Structure 1
Amino acid sequence: PSGLGPFLNIDPNTYTWVAHGLSGDWDHELAGGDWDQENVDDRQEAPKQVYFLIHHMTMEKVPEEVLRPSARFTVEVLSKQLPDLRKEEAVRQLKTASPLVISIALGLPIPEIHWPISGPRRLVSELRWPIPGPRRPVSEPHRPMSGPCGPISEPCHSIPEPCRGNWPRQHSFHKASTSRFLERQNYNIPAGHHKLNQSQDRAVRSALQKQFTVIQGPPGTGKTVVGFHIVYWFHRSNQEQMPTDSSPSGEEQLGGPCVLYCGPSNKSVDVLGGLLLRRKTEMKPLRVYGEQAEATEFPLPGVSNRSLFGKTSQEGRPNQSLRSITLHHRIRQAPNPYAAEIRKFDAQLREGKIFSKEDLRVYRRVLGKARKHELERHSVILCTCSCAASKSLKILNVRQILIDEAGMATEPETLIPLVCFSKTVEKVVLLGDHKQLRPVVKSEQLQSLGMDRSLFERYHRDAIMLDTQYRMHKDICSFPSVEFYGGKLKTWSDLRRLPSILGHTGKPSCSVIFGSVQGHEQKLLVSTEDGNENSRANPEEVTQVVRIIKQLTLDRTVDPKDIAVLTPYNAQAAAISRGLMQRGVTGVTVTSITKSQGSEWRYVIVSTVRTCPRSDVDQRPTKSWLKKFLGFVVDPHQVNVAITRAQEALCIIGDHLLLRCCPLWHRLLDFCEAQHSLVSAEKCDNPTPNPAEVRVAASEIYTRTSGASKAWLQNLL
């Protein structure tokens, strides 16, 4: 219509103006005071008034229709995700946390508790802590402040006594249990499957002895195994706290001290869950998932079962191998007294019954009682850092907190379990490796503020490093040991790997081989489970990777499930997957580098993707040039992860002339050149292996495994 003015020639009833805005703060108490999904129904009934602040747009002229008093708008509310709300709450509540947690968060000196074999011992409640003041470097010793008349001691206060309900005071625990465990020569678990090395024993001892321990686990060093042993000995210590006399009624003692094992992702926690399955009767582990993960198996009105907190759908789904120790399965099974009622509701929901708000309230109360029943009867709780803030877990008497893959968690994420259980926690252990993947922070502003630096990385100078790896062939370990770990990472002396069947005509067996190919880049928009993203592919590298895998799997020489292809770009991963499918190869893992941490395969092929015309190569590149032409490929954390997943052979495909512009890749290429394993990609082949070398290696392995029945090994002999 002409009445809309010269700039508008559309019907105002169909006009849409898109603007970006931010909601203002609103009273948390008005919303029920708890940001947990478990209170969602109560929050929905609370009155809310929210102010929207519209951001100024880069527009020459705001459409006049928008400015008319009668204009109507549709507001789409994008809620903050629950993990982000919990991070913010943890930071807000830090000021009320215990001195131990405050000291860890602010980098203040942490009083050490030493347990001599003889002599007087001090209770935890007798220790005195400095009130948090100006932050000092972690490694700097605690010094008194100076005044005009000499040194002035900082004001101190006692640690508040933890809330323990009916449980006895900790005197007997620290005086007898902990000191007795410290007298041990080693910390192998009785009748266990693992024998700890010296650095692993040292790490377990430190966790038992100190209130705050940081353990660095480079690739293949058994970090999770160490975590398992620490959990075991913490559990033993907690069990010795429990009253030896039974209750007058003969009932089971409930709500005793427990261990909380967390991680930034479900994968980081589930690995330990698998180890605990073998000792579930003794250690009573319980895997707790968030409500959205639970809803993928047991849908609940008002709770989304879509991709968990922006993670991939696989990451959001509960691990089926842990069903026997998973909370939302146990509350639906005997002997839980509420199981029948919960199963009845589930059945009605599947039949499509519509529930009233009162029905949902009743059901949630039953769920709460059922969860409480299980939590009171378990001693080791496993969940993500975010899930630790769940309302149902608040009843726990957590004495020790372990956070695995702590190098991948932001500081606020790490603080969630520490702040939530600060009134009862006595020991905190961080396990991780700041040399591998860091926290994912996409905002450049937050990166500049240091948000992509984990709490683990801040304390890495105080970490105990596990120094023996059991995964990689010693030749694969050589470069990352020197490049990332100061030459301190060594290979277990008894580790034997079969000779690599990858090589070239000049060297038939190469544990590490680099195949050079230039190719050309394609910029593509790919659809992932996290949404659409701009990505890159290199068809020539795809061709070489598919050819090499086809040769490896010919006549089942190598089982496809023992091969992985890693690449920084999802578009390249998709192209390689299509190429393998077209060649009839199935079972090979093709994934991004960031999703491979914690995994290992016999053979790993890395496709670096990036390339450019030779005229664009800059031998003295700036950081901006490296970012433009190499992108993720120059990230040392991703490089470290990529080249440390292989057990027997690592093959890297890329443009070696471009990669040499990056100092890290220059050193890696020099290493390959010195090993006579830098060749054109077309020459990366599967030459006939030397029978004598194979027989010698197979004989050693067969001997060291005490002649175990392995048909494939006997055939080699």
Structure 2
Amino acid sequence: MSQVLFAYCPQALYGSGCSDSSCPLIHDAKYCRLCAIICQPASVYEAHLQSSEHSRKLARRGWQYCPVCRIPVSAQPGIWPVHVNGRKHRKQAAFQGIDPISVQPTDPPRDEPALRYCEYCDLTLNLDAWGTHINGAKHRTQERHATFRSAFEKAIRGRAGVEVSHVDGLDFGVVSIDAARQGLHAHILVKTPTNATPVSVTSLDIYSRFRAGHGENDMPFYVNTPPGLVHPGQVVQIPIRFQRHRGGHYEEQLLISFKGKDEETFVIARRLRAVVGEAADHEALKPSRPYIRNARARWRRGLPTVSGDRPPSLLAAQWVKKLAQSHIPHKLVELLKSGNAEEVDARVKEKYFSDPLKLSNHQLRFASLLWIEESRTVEDMRRYDMVDVRFVKEGRLYSLEVPGLAEKRPSVMVGDAIQVQATDGSEERTHEGFVHDVRQETIRVSFHGSFRADSRRYNVCFQLNRIPLRRQHQALNSSLPSPQRIIFPDSGQEGLERSLGPNDHPVDPFNMLVATNPAQIQAVNSVLQLRAGAAPFVIFGPPGTGKTVTIVEAIRQILHRDPSARVLACAPSNSAADIIALRLASLTPEELFRCNAASRDPASVLDALVPHTLRMTTYYAIPPLETLRKYRVIVSTCGNASFAYNVGMERGHFSHIFVDEAGQATEPEVLTAIKTMASEETRIVLSGDPKQLGPIVRSSIARDHGLGVSFMERLMERGVYDEQHRGISWIKLLQNYRSHASILAYPNEKFYEGELEVCGDRATTHSFIGSPQLESPKFPVIFHAIAGQNDRESTSPSYFNIDEASEVKAYVQALLNDRNFPIQARDIGVITPYHAQVRKIRKLLRDADFADVDVGSVEIFQGQERRAIIISTVRSSADLLAYDAKFTLGFVSNPRRFNVAVTRARALLIVVGDPSILSVDPIWRGFMNYVYLHGGWRGDAPTWDVNAPIRTDGDYSDELQEALAADMSAFMARLTVGEDGGEDLEGDANVDRPFQETD
């Protein structure tokens, strides 16, 4: 399909004017920064300024000008402090020798030269780079989008004296499912002035991105034949019908084509909108106010700091070996601030990561990665700074309410520090307080005696707790007796000489279920036969295959066979470590110790584990060294596992070190549990799944250069863990005890070479077969296609989707009300990737008395299972003008998160999402194809060929962008038919094409 293309002169559009008389580009145009619209011809700019859309944006936002950065800044409250504290502003101010905080907004100077800031691309450029940028593909795409918006706005306005009602669009509002099924009717009015000549309405077209899969009578909005001639002074009604059988947002464009005097043709457009759903849900969950970024506190540097008292938990342990500070080197700090992200990445790579990873550079490589990650984490924590808040005195402590704390944003623990400064500048000091208590969304802090909370207000800066990072640096710096066999194992260091057969070294299992699983028995037996000085042995456990059961059986067998054995068992999280301890809780409190961090919340510790812990009055503690030596098993998190080294326990005390869920931890985290305590005789066992969630790493630089690859995953890329060494250096568990075959089939094929065997209890896995909730009675997987709307709440950057939240509640209600297929609320889990959506769904379920349904992120559900799992993917876009498709996918596009999410369900899996967005990702597209072809699809049909092979060399974003661009161009040609300045594509545009990818 041909496209309408425009080539604007950037000097005329953005700058002070074009002086080249031979310039062939378009000059008669003007750009509105506020609306990101190109007005052509320039004469319509004044009309645009009077439009309701521009007025709304102006009232909502407003602009001010930064004379340092020479860019416009939103005048919304709180945005200017964010800007002046931003890295770009500080860098520009430093270059000009100006105090960045003292800069005040001004009006733009009339002699402002060509702009160096690109509004759409969010880039500040030097003048010599400006020309290259504006001719680049990204900018041209955004420029074309601005042109499209301009054409649409122009089509909203009346022409030739013709007036069309509903300038802001015809909105049916939120309507119930029942009302939408019956259909609703409304009218748009067309009026001509009494002194005008007659005009004809020649056609009425509905234009939609989501046409594919719909017949003409199946479209949400429908119009009848055009009314024909409209006489002067006459008012004509255009009836609009809306009818739909599914929930969601629906938005389309009505194009009214006119023919007037002298056969002049023009088009007037009107948006048509409707939301099908529960009005009460939309009212309850709507944003309280529009999203704006948190304002950063104005922070005065160089002031003296006075500190409060540290909590007793930080002073309790008797450390023999002190933690080094391990501060970020000054040169690396400067390097990380030396330019934009691409420049910094290139410089960091050249200086720190140019050589391949090897034993000689391992310590420095990972120390640098930790410092880079720390730098990014500190920067991210600044988003949670609080401005102009008041503390409340409670005894000797001071309390402060911290919104988002219940969701660990920011993450604050007992012992963490915060810094505060008086907002009125009355104190020439910084107060450092230490957190003594964390409850829900309130922290209680100790300050120096000079702190006053009576009438003063403070800015608050949260400080990063560096102790976990310092422990990791300590482990990296420790001298391992045989580092190569642990960190870079090679041929000859395999755990076994050969793979064990079923009759080799028979095992009498404690857990009789293990006796029926050949792979588990082989794994247990292999651990028992590991050679001293061997490489770490890996137990690869896909979802539901019982890897934790296997290592617990191995630990019990070790203890049974060797009275002198001592075991350290670790996992990245408290919950995963608790599972190990709980399954070993048959050991006495004198044999098993669950080591908790001093700051752990006692409410999170299971009752069955309390006898195996040591808790002082207000914190968890570590027993004396003599007592520690007597325990046969100590269970800890990876991050806390250095306790043994720091209290003086000798290297080699533990005969075995186990790390469960090892695929979730960074390499330095795992080495914290290994490198400080392992001797040449220590057997090391890693269990996990490199196909599930990996480490959480904030810095893209650190992630791309190795910190995002777990220790277990890196080891498995070495030759000693290849397929030929299966059963010798590693074992893969194969029997899945969790899921129905239809739930397991797609992830099994995609991630596990189809090796997993379905072994779950049919009474559970088949418990929804025949349920009326299913689209296909024998296929317990549903994809519910819905086009919703992305929202954000106030200052939270996290997205939520009311339509999907409401749909999730409806599914939960239907499941719990179906007595023929009974299920309890605690057997239903809801997984969604955004904190805001978690909160919104929890609110709806709590208000409906379904509070026992667990709702959380993918990370929360790793290692868990439920009979029924409902997934809300959140990101959506029903607006034709929302041109960018790739950005809307967000971090839903992550193979490991996908794998974890869809493998939690035992008997029923329901996915609620927008297929037009998810189809950008090949894994999601393949999954949706699988569900559709097996009859589990609910809602509008896919807009792509479900039988076409899935590409494996990237995503579909470019293809989708191309299709969207073609749709926009066709729509734009329809808007501008008969006008000058554009190619006449009326023949093409009159046909409503299906929205699908182009070849």
Q: Which TM-score tier does this pair reach, normalised by the shorter chain?
A: 0.5 to 0.7
Give the superposed CA RMSD.
Answer: 4.1
CA distance in 2, matches of 1:185, 1:464: 17
Q: Post-superposition shift, 1:519?
A: 1.1
State the AA in 2 paired with 1:610.
R
Instruction: Give 1:38's aligned residue.
Output: 317
Cα–Cα, structure 1 residues 638 and 617, in superposed 2: closer, same or farther, change >3 Å? farther
Instruction: Give 2:812's aligned residue.
Output: 549
Contact 1:91–1:412 under 8 Å retained in 2: yes
Q: Deviations over 1:441-478 (max 9, x none)?
A: 00111112110100111123524211110000111111
Q: Post-superposition shift, 1:227?
A: 0.6
Instruction: Give 1:189's aligned residue.
Output: 509
CA distance in 1, matches of 2:542, 2:742: 16
Which residues of 2 match residues 687-702 of structure 1 at below 5 A? Answer: none
Instruction: Give 2:572's aligned residue.
Output: 264
CA distance in 1, matches of 2:747, 2:326: 55
Instruction: Give 2:801's aligned residue.
Output: 538
Instruction: Give 1:87's aligned residue.
Output: 472
Q: Post-superposition shift, 1:285?
A: 1.9
More strand by share: 2
Instruction: Give 1:455's aligned residue.
Output: 711
Instruction: Give 1:24's aligned residue.
Output: none
Instruction: Give 2:481's aligned residue.
Output: 98
CA distance in 1, matches of 2:935, 2:688: 34
Which of 182, 199, 211 aligns to 2:519? It is 199
Cα–Cα, structure 1 residues 480 and 20, in superposed 2: closer, same or farther, change >3 Å? farther
Task: State the aligned residue count.
Answer: 501
Q: Post-superposition shift, 1:187?
A: 3.2
Cα–Cα, structure 1 residues 583 and 258, in superposed 2: closer, same or farther, change >3 Å? same
Cα–Cα, structure 1 residues 17 and 553, in superposed 2: closer, same or farther, change >3 Å? closer
CA distance in 2, matches of 1:371, 1:193: 38
Contact 1:520–1:538 under 8 Å retained in 2: yes
User: What residue ranges of structure 2 are gaps of 5+ in the alignment?
Assistant: 1-98, 105-296, 303-313, 340-426, 434-462, 722-729, 942-999
Q: Post-superposition shift, 1:488?
A: 1.0
Instruction: Give 1:465's aligned residue.
Output: 732
Instruction: Give 2:556's aligned residue.
Output: 232
Contact 1:503–1:509 under 8 Å retained in 2: no
Which of 828, 833, 839 aligns to 1:574? It is 839
Q: Deviations over 1:672-692 (max 9, x none)?
A: 01110111299xxxxxxxxxx
Secondary structure, in 3 states, of the residue corresponding to 1:479?
helix
Instruction: Give 1:126's aligned residue.
Output: none
- TM-score, normalised with respect to structure 2: 0.46
Which of 518, 522, 529 aligns to 2:787? It is 518
Contact 1:263–1:383 under 8 Å retained in 2: yes
- Identity between Structure 1 and Structure 2 (%): 26
Instruction: Give 2:47's aligned residue.
Output: none
State the AA in 2 paired with 1:377.
K
Query: Is 1:653 matched up with 2:977?
Result: no
User: What residue ranges of structure 1 are gaps of 5+ in the alignment?
Assistant: 11-15, 22-34, 60-70, 118-178, 240-255, 298-313, 330-341, 351-363, 527-532, 683-717
Contact 1:238–1:258 under 8 Å retained in 2: no
State the AA in 1 paired with 2:842.
S
Q: Post-superposition shift, 1:663?
A: 0.7
Instruction: Give 2:675's aligned residue.
Output: 419
State which structure, 1 or 2, has the greater radius of gyration over its C-alpha atoms.
Answer: 2
CA distance in 1, matches of 2:686, 2:325: 41
Which residues of 2 match residues 353-502 of structure 1 at below 5 A? Answer: 370-390=623-643, 391-392=646-647, 394-395=649-650, 397-423=653-679, 425-460=681-716, 462=721, 463-492=730-759, 495-496=762-763, 497-500=765-768, 502=771
CA distance in 1, matches of 2:785, 2:760: 33
Q: Post-superposition shift, 1:87?
A: 0.5
State the AA in 2 paired with 1:434.
P
Secondary structure, in 3 states, of the residue corresponding to 1:376?
helix
State the AA in 1 paired with 2:606.
N
- TM-score, normalised with respect to structure 1: 0.62
Contact 2:775–2:937 under 8 Å retained in 1: no
Which of 492, 495, 507 aligns to 2:776? It is 507
Contact 2:594–2:635 under 8 Å retained in 1: yes
Instruction: Give 1:593's aligned residue.
Output: 858
Q: Post-superposition shift, 1:489?
A: 1.3
Contact 1:398–1:424 under 8 Å retained in 2: no
State the AA in 2 paired with 1:375.
L
Q: Deviations over 1:119-155 (max 9, x none)?
A: xxxxxxxxxxxxxxxxxxxxxxxxxxxxxxxxxxxxx
Q: Post-superposition shift, 1:506?
A: 5.4
CA distance in 2, matches of 1:505, 1:57: 54
Secondary structure, in 3 states, of the residue corresponding to 1:547?
helix
Q: Post-superposition shift, 1:632?
A: 1.3
CA distance in 1, matches of 2:817, 2:772: 16
Cα–Cα, structure 1 residues 521 and 382, in superposed 2: closer, same or farther, change >3 Å? same
Query: Is 1:322 matched up with 2:616?
Result: no
Q: Deviations over 1:45-73 (max 9, x none)?
A: x99999999979999xxxxxxxxxxx966
Instruction: Give 1:634's aligned residue.
Output: 893
Q: Post-superposition shift, 1:373?
A: 4.5
Q: Deviations over 1:589-616 (max 9, x none)?
A: 1111111001111110000011123647
State the AA in 2 paired with 1:291.
A
Q: Post-superposition shift, 1:398?
A: 0.4
Cα–Cα, structure 1 residues 79 and 116, in superposed 2: closer, same or farther, change >3 Å? closer
Secondary structure, in 3 states, of the residue corresponding to 2:585?
helix
Secondary structure, in 3 states, of the residue corresponding to 1:612?
coil
Contact 1:563–1:589 under 8 Å retained in 2: yes
State the AA in 2 paired with 1:406.
A
